[in-house]
Chain A
Amino acid sequence: MGMSQAEDWVLLAYRLPRVPSTPRSAVWRKLKRLGVAQLGDGLVALPADPCTREQLEWVAEEVAEHGGEATLWLGHPLDTSASSAVVSRMTAAVAAEYDAVAAAAATVSTADAAARRRAIARLRRELHRIQGRDFFTCPQREAARRAVDNLAETATAGART
C-alpha cells in the first residue's frame, strides 16, 4: 500500500482449458476479488508483497489442479507511464466501488431503523472487501467509511431513544 510505481509486481501467467467453463469462471472470480490488474489474456498482476504473492500462488495451484498451466513471476515495469496507467485503472475501479458504498449509505439514511442496521452491516462487509484490493490507498476510501459511520451513528442514537 502507498507504494511507488517502480516497485515490484507479482505476475501470474495462466492458461486453463476452455471446457469445462466452471473452473475458468471460479478462477476469474477469485482474481477479481483480489483486485488484479489484467495485463493481457491470461496475464494478471498485483503489487508484490508476501500476502499478494501467496494469494497468487494459491490461484496458480488451483489452475494446475484443474488441468491448466500457471507460472508466477516477480518483476518491475520498465515503462513507468504504462505502469502508472495500470495503477490508475486499478484505483479507478476501487474508487467506483467506494462511491457505490457511499451512495448506498446516503440512500438508506432515510429508511427505517431496522433497514438502516441491516444496511450498515452489509456496507461494512463491503468496505472490508474493497479495502482488501485497495493497494494504493484510494482517496474515496475515507469518504465511504465516513458515510457508513455516519449512518451507524444515527442508527445507534435512534436505538437509545
Chain B
Amino acid sequence: MRWATRPGVHVDRAACAWLIRRFVDPDAEFVFAADPGAIPAGATPFDMRGAALGHHQGRCSFETALASVGLTADPALEEIGRIVHEADLADERYDAPAAAGLDVLIRGLTLTSGSDHDTLTITGRLFDGLYEHTRRQLITGRPPA
C-alpha cells in the first residue's frame, strides 16, 4: 500500500511510518506531499491536516494510529505513544523524559539526511530499539542494563 505524509519528517511522522511498516503493512511505500491536495490517488494520508490518522481529541497522530489499527493492547506501544506525544506536543500530559532526547535526535537527523526516505530508514532503527527497550522495561520493571 501507499502511504502519504508531509516532507521534512519529524517525530510523529517517523513514529507513524515505523508503526505502519512494522505492524500494519510490511511492504508500505511512503510518499511525501506538502499539500494535502497533492497526495497521489489511493495513498492513505497520515499526520496531515484533514487525515483520519492525524491529531484528534488532543492526541498526536501516532496515538490516533494506535487506536485505529487496534494496537492499544500492546503496553510498550502505548508507552511509545506517550513519548511521541510529549516529543511532538510537549503539553506535559505525560511524564516522558525520553521525549526531549528523541525530539532533538530526530530534528538533527532531518537536518543531515539526504532525503525523507533516509530519515525513515534511520528512525525505523531508532524506534525498533525504543520498542525493545520499552518492552523489556515493562517486563522486568527496570530499564534493561
Among A51, A60, A125, A132, point to the contact of B49 (Cβ < 8 A).
A60
Q: A33-B91, A132-B90 are in contact. Are A61 and B8 (CB under 8 A)?
A: no
Q: Which residue of A lies closest to B89 (CB)?
A: A58
Instruction: List chain A residues, Cβ under 8 A from B135.
Output: none
Q: Quick one: CB contact mask for B45-70 with A, threshold 8 Å, 1 for yes?
A: 00001100011110000000000000
Instruction: Determine whether the beta carbon of A58 is less than 8 Å from that of B91.
Output: no
| Chain A interface residue bracket vs B | 10 to 19
Instruction: List chain B residues, Cβ under 8 A from A58.
Output: 49, 55
Q: Which residue of A lies closest to B48 (CB)?
A: A57
Instruction: List chain A residues, Cβ under 8 A from B10.
Output: 51, 54
Q: Which residue of B lies closest to A51 (CB)?
A: B10
Interface SS of chain B? loop
Binding site for A on B (CB under 8 A): 6, 8, 10, 49-50, 54-57, 90-92, 100
17 contacts between A and B (CB under 8 A): A33-B91, A50-B8, A51-B10, A54-B10, A57-B49, A58-B49, A58-B55, A60-B49, A61-B49, A61-B54, A61-B55, A62-B55, A65-B56, A65-B57, A125-B92, A128-B100, A129-B90
Binding site for B on A (CB under 8 A): 30, 33, 50-51, 54, 57-58, 60-62, 65, 125, 128-129, 132
Given A30-B91, A54-B10, A58-B49: 18 more A-B contacts, CB < 8 Å: A33-B91, A50-B8, A51-B10, A54-B6, A57-B49, A58-B55, A60-B49, A61-B49, A61-B50, A61-B54, A61-B55, A62-B55, A65-B56, A65-B57, A125-B92, A128-B100, A129-B90, A132-B90
